[in-house]
Amino acid sequence: MKKVNAKLIVELGIAVLIVGALAAGLVYFGFIISDNVREIELAKQDLASRATTLLSFATLRSQYNAKGKAYSNVLNNVIPSYDQLLDVSKEIRSVAATNNLGFGFRYSGEKPATAATLGSIGFEANLSGDFNQIFKFVEDFENLKFLNALSGFDFSRQGGVYQAVLRGQVYFR
């Protein structure tokens, strides 16, 4: 009987070890599964966020194609690239000649364009001539095909000739 009891105790010990190992395995795999479930939930949220972003992008793209493209072409015509500004002094000289004015021109600095802002080239134009022709020049200058802004205007008279110094910028993309 001792042999049977010993055999029974050994078999029960082996069974307890197997059940204990199985229970430990279940607990271990339970933790792994719960971690994987959390990762899957996070991936699902990320995927939903990306889908929403993609939908927003598609909406913006369709609005751009429907309405924005026309405005983009207008802006590209009004705001030239840097290379297209090579003839700015010639165009301003042409406006001065049209108004029968003496003309001098110099560049006064450059600010490069960035993704968020336009670049600009500063200039100074010296004009001499008739009072009304100088103001006609200013009107014509503001109608040039380039986006521009005057930042300073000095006006004087020497004898019968009026002198004007215009400072400003021409913008580029």
pLDDT digits (tens, 9 = 90+) for 19-45: 999 999 999 999 999 999 999 999 999
pLDDT computed for residue 158 by the predictor? 85
Find out whether 92 and 144 touch, Cβ atoms under 8 Å. yes
Cα torsion 132, 137, 140, 141: sign: negative
10 Å CB burial of residue 20 (0-12, 13-18, 19+) is exposed
Cα torsion 48, 49, 53, 54: sign: negative
For the chain, the structural domain boundaries read: 1-78, 82-172
Total-model pTM: 0.55
10 Å CB burial of residue 125 (0-12, 13-18, 19+) is buried
> Which of 121, 125, 133 has its CA nearest to residue 162?
133
Minimum mean pLDDT among 76-90, 95-109, 124-138, 149-163: which range?
A: 76-90
pLDDT computed for residue 44 by the predictor? 94
- 3-state DSSP helix/strand/coil % of the chain, to nearest 5: 60, 25, 15
Is 164's pLDDT higher than 70? yes
pLDDT computed for residue 9 by the predictor? 86
Is 1's pLDDT higher than 70? no
10 Å CB burial of residue 111 (0-12, 13-18, 19+) is middle
Question: Over the stretch 54-96, which tens digit does the pLDDT of each residue have?
Answer: 999 999 888 888 887 777 777 777 787 887 777 788 888 888 8
What fold is seen in the domain 82-172?
Alpha-Beta Plaits (3.30.70)
Q: CA separation (Å) from 47 to 33, 37, 55, 59? A: 20, 15, 12, 18
